[in-house]
């Protein structure tokens, strides 16, 4: 059986956002146990010219909902990017997962050749649906989740590879 566009997108986004949720929860527990404001983690970054953790999560959220919406040819929900605290970040993840659960396989399957156009600051990018998913949306999504993991780990949160990958079964 061939892997469908839906199988390669929405379930992957939902699973990894769930794993991201676990990472943020562990960061929150870490801050609470050490009696510091979790907003310090939300504002943390690896280097001065990088986005902070909160923005990494916002971009991962936007990547997931934007990809699903573009492939399904529907409107993505607009989120205001006002999150500042770890609980607000968790709520953002939950809203993204809730949206993804409304997208059905029949809306995405067959989108391999759908034209996807992105307007970026650097200019317009055009893809076919499969190229967009595999060569842009998924790598971008994973980049921002990985960066979130790295920010948390750099700040001492006790997480490991299996927290990133998630448990199976």
Return d(Cα 149, Cα 56) in angstroms, integer.
10
What pLDDT shows up at residue 1?
A: 59
pTM listed for this prediction: 0.95
SS3 content of the chain, % helix, strand, coil (to 5): 60, 5, 35
Instruction: Specify the fold of 10-155.
Output: 1.20.120
Domain boundaries, the chain: 10-155
Residue with tokens 């590879």: 161
Which pLDDT tens digit goes with each residue over 21-80?
A: 999 999 999 999 999 999 999 999 999 999 999 999 999 999 999 999 999 999 999 999
Which pLDDT tens digit goes with each residue over 104-146?
A: 999 999 999 999 999 889 999 999 999 999 999 999 999 999 9
């Amino acid at each position: 059986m061939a892997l469908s566009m839906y199988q390669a997108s929405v379930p992957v986004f939902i699973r990894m956002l769930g794993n991201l949720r676990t990472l943020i929860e562990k960061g929150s527990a870490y801050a609470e146990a050490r009696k510091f404001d979790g907003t310090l983690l939300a504002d943390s970054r690896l280097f001065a010219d990088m986005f902070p953790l909160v923005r990494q999560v916002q971009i991962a959220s936007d990547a997931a909902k934007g990809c699903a919406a573009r492939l399904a040819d529907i409107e993505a929900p607009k989120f205001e990017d006002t999150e500042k605290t770890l609980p607000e970040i968790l709520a953002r993840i939950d809203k993204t997962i809730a949206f993804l659960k409304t997208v059905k396989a029949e809306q995405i399957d067959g989108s391999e050749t759908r034209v996807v156009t992105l307007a970026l600051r650097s200019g317009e990018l055009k893809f076919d649906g499969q190229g967009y998913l595999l060569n842009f949306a998924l790598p971008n999504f994973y980049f921002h989740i990985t960066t979130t993991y790295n920010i948390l780990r750099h700040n001492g949160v006790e997480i490991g590879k299996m927290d990133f990958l998630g448990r199976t079964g």
